[in-house]
Amino acid sequence: MGKPLKVGSPQYYAFVRNLKNAEGGKLVIRQMTKAFRKEGKPVLNSVKQGALSTPSKDQNARRGRPSLRRSLSKAATLQVKAAKDAVMIVKINGKKMPSGMQGLPPYIEGDQARLRHPTFGRDPWVRQVPHPFFWDAVEPFRPRLAASVNGVLNDIIKELEQ
């Protein structure tokens, strides 16, 4: 959803690329992936909580449809890749949304032009105000993620020097 949250430096990315070819590098990359996943869990939980705390009138539950807030929360994913560059991706995966709702996450966040829907029993469509939650949930973790990424890398460098 939107722009990626990048933490790290060009030297860091070069280090990860070179690590892949080093002896025992695959094991170190696995350890690094595990550490990054551990650091990313609180961010993912914050995004899920943010999705659940968006305003709602609870109309869907009464009509037997899946709740948009709950669907957004379930579709939040954490993905860590460390094969080429070490990347931690927290996103709302539209493919995990219920049928007919796959395209909604960017509209809810306000990244798309507008969210419109028909009113039942009347002709006009109404515009719904977006309720962004994603970046508000992620931003507080940026300094901590930068420090933890550097900490994990320093631990790996110390381990490799021994």
pLDDT of residue 49: 93
Residue 35 has what pLDDT? 86
What is the separation, in whole angstroms, between the first and last Cα of the chain?
A: 41
Contact residues for 109 (Cβ-Cβ < 8 A; gap 6+)? 1, 2, 92, 130, 132, 133, 134, 135
97: left (phi over 0), alpha (psi -120 to 50) or beta: beta
pLDDT value, residue 2: 47
User: 97, 102, 109: which is closest to 138 by C-alpha?
Assistant: 109
- pTM exceeding 0.75: yes
Residue 8 in tokens = 């790290």
Residue 67 sits at the vertex; the CA angle it makes with 66 and 68, to the nearest 5 degrees, is: 115
Encode the chain (162 residues) as per-residue pLDDT tens digits.
544 555 556 667 677 777 777 777 778 888 888 888 898 899 999 999 998 888 777 666 666 677 888 888 999 999 887 766 667 888 888 899 888 888 888 878 777 667 777 777 777 888 777 788 888 898 999 888 888 877 877 787 787 777
Q: Specify the pLDDT at position 118.
A: 76
